[in-house]
């Protein structure tokens, strides 16, 4: 584990993989003296308020509390996205095969970012790990199920975006009125179910 | 309940408080006043709690009409505020009086604080408008009417205005801590960051301030795996032109961060106007507790 400064009120922990990042983030959050604990793909950003910096020298991946049983969230998808044919061509299989392979995987929420409730999912069939679009769309509809590089995701609301769109889901990924505004949290497991 | 009518909003007028810290892991930006010190001073001058919501005006201030008596203060950039022709701050507005602000000088954002605070809708614990995500009340438009909060929640106003902040000048110095990704750059890049007089691009907003100058040389061109970023981070896209992240920045980023502006200088960074110049100096002794 390596620790890098991120200004005078934050540090960035660099770890071996996403599982460690999720685990370390849990340990840091449990301390209760940090304003923000933000896992990334292979990092955790720890941010504190002004005043004295908290002692973080005892922090380690091993010190993290044992994870609760990972939640499994099922996301119903209509595989009728505008990029389904392109992804099929890139993967060298039929569009039906793309949908079947995407729905066969079990994914892990690596981290959230880009937009409120936007979860980066790792896992699934490597054949579907395709590059993002050369030029992003100005408008990607809310609920779009998309892939780019090693990730899958569902766009929580309409936004610009450069990922390839496989289909749509009606699930509400982010609602500021809910007790838990984001449907998905780091460490959760996800399955896509063809609807 | 007293309210305030927006007669002319100007280019960008938003409600801002101290934002939504603590939700970055959900992808929710911190948001909040870009010049936090100015908002807090304004709140002190009218006897509000430090985090009460006020109005953040950008480039040119608004014209407001009060439908009841209210104690008001204007802070931040000098927008030549006048309350029915009387100079401010702070001043007591009477029923029907107009508060008029003009173009911002010595900064880009002026703040209007009103005793009781602006009682716009709170979303995820904050009334701040977030330019990236649209969370919070939308930017104000001509004709909008804003309810005010209860003055019973207030304390004694700060009696005298503190000396004007001398750092509100057109050209500005900001202190930075190198990293976290300074090893993605040529050794000369950090030196170039501090040697260059950067100019603020007009394509700047609450999400980020774009800086014009010689490109900073990256030694790695591959994409960084997304990682958490803070307000004040100096992110460098492949073109080498740095972006200083503002309060509405995305919570994670895939561009390497060369250095981060120290927290005490962020309010000044929030006043960087298009065309203004900025220079950076390095602080190294940072107690990070590890």
Mean pLDDT of all residues in chain B?
91
**Which residue do the tokens 């000369």 mark?**
B188
Q: At what angle do helices A95-104 and A84-91 cross, to 10 degrees?
A: 90
CA distances in angstroms from A191 to A82, A102, A113, listed in the order given: 21, 9, 20
Best probe of the B interface among A2, A4, A8, A139, by most B CBs < 10 A, is A8
In CATH terms, the superfamily for domain B171-282 is: Cyclophilin-like (2.40.100.10)
Structure tokens at A3: 């620790």
- Predicted local confidence at residue A40, as pLDDT: 98
Domains of chain B, residue spans = 3-152, 171-282
Shortest CB distance from A117 goes to which of B26, B286, B290? B26
- Predicted local confidence at residue B289, as pLDDT: 46
Q: Which residues of A122-139 are buried (b: 16+ CB within 10 A; e: fewer)?
A: bbbbeebebebbeeebee
Count contacts between A and B (CB, < 8 Å): 148
Element (H, E) at B146: strand B145-147
Distance from CA of B264 to the nearest CA of A (A): 9
Among B180, B203, B176, B208, residue whose Cα is nearest residue B192: B176
- Predicted local confidence at residue A149, as pLDDT: 94
Distance from CA of A120 to the nearest CA of B (A): 10
* B-chain residue closest to A184, CA distance: B26
Which strands sit side by side in the sheet containing B98-100, from one edge to the other? B86-87, B82-83, B98-100, B63-66, B3-8, B145-147
User: Within B102-261, where are the H helices?
Assistant: 187-195
Q: Tell me the sheet residues that pair with B234.
A: B244, B259
- Chain B residues with CB under 8 Å of A31 CB are none
- Chain B residues with CB under 8 Å of A50 CB are 263
- Chain A residues with CB under 8 Å of B28 CB are 116, 181
Separation between Cα atoms, residue A107 and residue B101, nearest integer Å: 53
Separation between Cα atoms, residue B229 and residue B261, nearest integer Å: 12
Q: In this structure, what is the dihedral angle of CA atoms B244, B245, B247, B249, given to the nearest 10 degrees?
A: 160
* A-chain residue closest to B260, CA distance: A7
Whether the CB-CB separation of B234 and B210 falls below 8 Å is answered with no
Q: Given an 8 Å threshold on Cβ–Cβ distance, is B263 in contact with A8?
A: yes
- Predicted local confidence at residue A92, as pLDDT: 96
- Predicted local confidence at residue B290, as pLDDT: 45
- Predicted local confidence at residue B286, as pLDDT: 58
Distance from CA of A63 to the nearest CA of B (A): 15
- Chain B residues with CB under 8 Å of A7 CB are 177, 230, 232-233, 260-263, 286
Q: Given an 8 Å threshold on Cβ–Cβ distance, is B178 in contact with A43?
A: no
pLDDT along chain A (195 residues), means of 10: 94 96 94 95 95 81 76 97 97 97 97 97 96 93 97 96 97 96 96 95
Distance from CA of A110 to the nearest CA of B (A): 10
- Predicted local confidence at residue B176, as pLDDT: 97
Phi-psi region of B44 (alpha: psi -120 to 50; beta: other; left: phi over 0): alpha
Q: What is the DSSP string of B236-269?
A: --TT---EEE-TT--SEESS-EEEEE-GGGHHHH
Residues of chain A with a CB closer than 8 angstroms to some CB in chain B: 3-12, 25, 35-45, 47, 50, 52-57, 59, 111-118, 120, 174, 176, 181-182, 186
Q: Given an 8 Å threshold on Cβ–Cβ distance, is B287 in contact with A7?
A: no
Q: Given an 8 Å threshold on Cβ–Cβ distance, is A7 in contact with B260?
A: yes
Residues of chain B with pLDDT under 50: 166-167, 289-290
Phi-psi region of B232 (alpha: psi -120 to 50; beta: other; left: phi over 0): left
Q: In this structure, what is the dihedral angle of CA atoms A118, A124, A125, A130, given to the nearest 10 degrees?
A: 20
- Predicted local confidence at residue B96, as pLDDT: 80
Q: Given an 8 Å threshold on Cβ–Cβ distance, is B260 in contact with A186?
A: no
Q: Given an 8 Å threshold on Cβ–Cβ distance, is B263 in contact with A50?
A: yes
- Chain A residues with CB under 8 Å of B226 CB are 40-41, 111, 113, 120
Structure tokens at B171: 């050209």
Best probe of the B interface among A31, A48, A53, A116, by most B CBs < 10 A, is A116
Whether the CB-CB separation of B229 and B208 falls below 8 Å is answered with no
């Amino acid at each position: 584990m390596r620790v890098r400064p991120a200004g005078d009120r934050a540090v960035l922990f660099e770890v071996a993989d996403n599982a460690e990042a999720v685990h370390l983030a849990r340990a840091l959050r449990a301390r209760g003296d940090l304003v923000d604990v933000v896992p990334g793909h292979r990092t955790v950003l720890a941010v504190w308020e002004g005043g004295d910096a908290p002692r973080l020298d005892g922090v380690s991946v091993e010190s993290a509390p044992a994870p609760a049983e990972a939640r499994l969230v099922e996301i119903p998808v209509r595989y009728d996205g505008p990029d389904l044919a392109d992804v099929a061509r890139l993967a060298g299989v039929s569009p039906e095969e793309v949908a079947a392979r995407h729905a066969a995987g079990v994914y892990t929420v690596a981290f959230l970012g880009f937009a409120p409730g936007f979860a980066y999912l790792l896992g699934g069939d490597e054949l579907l790990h395709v590059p993002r679009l050369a030029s992003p769309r100005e408008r990607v509809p809310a609920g779009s199920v998309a892939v780019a590089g090693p990730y899958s995701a569902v766009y929580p609301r309409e936004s610009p975006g450069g990922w390839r769109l496989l289909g749509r889901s009606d699930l509400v990924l982010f609602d500021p009125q809910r007790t838990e505004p984001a449907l998905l949290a780091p460490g959760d497991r996800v399955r896509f179910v063809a609807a | 309940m007293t309210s305030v009518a927006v007669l002319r909003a100007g280019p960008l007028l938003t409600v801002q408080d101290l934002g939504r810290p603590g939700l970055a892991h959900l992808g929710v930006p911190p948001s909040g006043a870009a010049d936090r010190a100015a908002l807090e001073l304004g709140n002190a001058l009218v006897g509000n709690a430090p985090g009460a919501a006020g109005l953040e005006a950008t480039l040119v201030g608004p014209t407001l009409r009060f439908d009841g008596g209210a104690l008001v203060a204007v802070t931040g950039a000098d927008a030549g505020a006048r309350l029915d022709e009387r100079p401010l701050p702070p001043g007591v507005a009477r029923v029907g009086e107009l508060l008029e602000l003009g173009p911002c000088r010595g900064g880009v954002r002026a703040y209007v604080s009103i005793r009781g605070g602006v009682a716009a809708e709170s979303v995820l614990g904050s009334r701040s408008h977030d330019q990236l995500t649209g969370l919070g009340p939308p930017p104000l438009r001509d004709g909008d009417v804003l309810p005010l909060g209860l003055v019973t929640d207030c304390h004694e106003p700060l009696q005298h205005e503190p000396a004007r902040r001398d750092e509100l000048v057109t050209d500005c110095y900001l202190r930075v801590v190198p990293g976290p990704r300074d090893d993605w750059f040529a050794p000369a890049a950090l030196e170039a960051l501090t040697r260059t007089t950067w100019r603020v691009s007009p394509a700047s907003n609450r999400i980020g301030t774009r800086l014009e100058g010689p490109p900073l040389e990256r030694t790695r061109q591959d994409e960084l795996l997304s990682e958490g970023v803070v307000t004040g981070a100096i992110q460098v896209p492949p073109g080498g032109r740095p972006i200083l992240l503002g309060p509405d920045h995305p919570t994670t980023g895939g561009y390497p961060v060369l250095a981060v502006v120290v927290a005490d200088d962020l309010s000044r960074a929030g006043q960087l106007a298009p065309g203004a110049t900025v220079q950076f100096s390095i602080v190294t002794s940072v107690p990070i507790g590890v």
